[in-house]
Structures are given as C-alpha cells and as structure tokens.
Amino acid sequence: MHQVSSQLVWKYGKIVAEDLKIQNMLKNHHLAKSIADAGWGYLFSMITYKAESAGREFERVIAYNSSQECSRCSAIVRKDLAQRVHRCHNCGLVLDRDHNSALVLEKRAS
C-alpha cells in the first residue's frame, strides 16, 4: 500500500483528473486485492499525506458518469464505449471523448 501511494504521488504531479487511472489499477488483480484489503480510505489518506509532503496536489473526484456528462453545460450525453467523440445535443460542444471527461473531472474537483 505504501508502494502504491508513493508510485501515484511520484508519477502524477496533480492527481485530480486521475481517478480513472486509479480505477484502471483495480483491473490489475494484484493491486486490486491489496487496495481492497486495506480499503480506499486508507489509500486516499496515504496519498493525501504523501502528496502534501511532496508539495503536490491531490483531490478526490468522483469519476462516475464523467464520460456521459458535457463538460460545458453538464447535460447528460449518452454514448457507448465505441463513440469516441462527445457531441452535446444541448450546447453543441464537440470534443474528443476523453478530453471531455477530463474536463468534467477537473470541474468536479474545484
């Protein structure tokens, strides 16, 4: 767990929009097990502590539905995984899917 949090802090300057990457880590069985055993709360508190002492920012954001939300107007734009482009029916924003979700996460963080 110490290693996991150190790696995260070392690897990412600002761990705001990176919650999705943490979710990806759960796909790694070995990591997922140690995270599940120790608990998210513990992992997050360790990252917070280490990020702080390294002078880096860490903010938890909820990644849920970030790929379905419009980063400009917050409308829900349903898309499946094959759709790589976000096209908002409400405000007309057209943006790469991943770029749009990153902006949504950034908005949730602040």
The answer to whether 90 contacts Zn ion (rule: CB under 5 A) is yes
Closer CB to Zn ion, residue 62 or residue 75? 75
Q: Give the single-character DSSP code of 20.
A: H
Q: Report how many residues bind Zn ion under the rule CB under 5 A.
A: 8
Stretch that binds Zn ion, among 12-20, 25-33, 80-88, 101-109 (CB under 5 A): 80-88
| Contact by Cβ (8 Å): 62, 108 | yes
Structure tokens at 45: 């508190």
The only residue of 46, 51, 88, 105 in contact with Zn ion, by rule CB under 5 A: 88
Structure tokens at 46: 């360790």
Binding track, positions 9-48, relative to Zn ion; x by CB under 5 A: ----------------------------------------
The answer to whether 72 contacts Zn ion (rule: CB under 5 A) is yes
* Secondary element (H or E) of residue 95: strand 94-96
Q: How far is CA 55 from the centre of its chain?
A: 20
Contacts of 3 (CB under 8 A, 6+ apart): none
Residues lying near Zn ion in the complex (CB under 5 A) are found at 70, 72-73, 75, 88, 90-91, 93
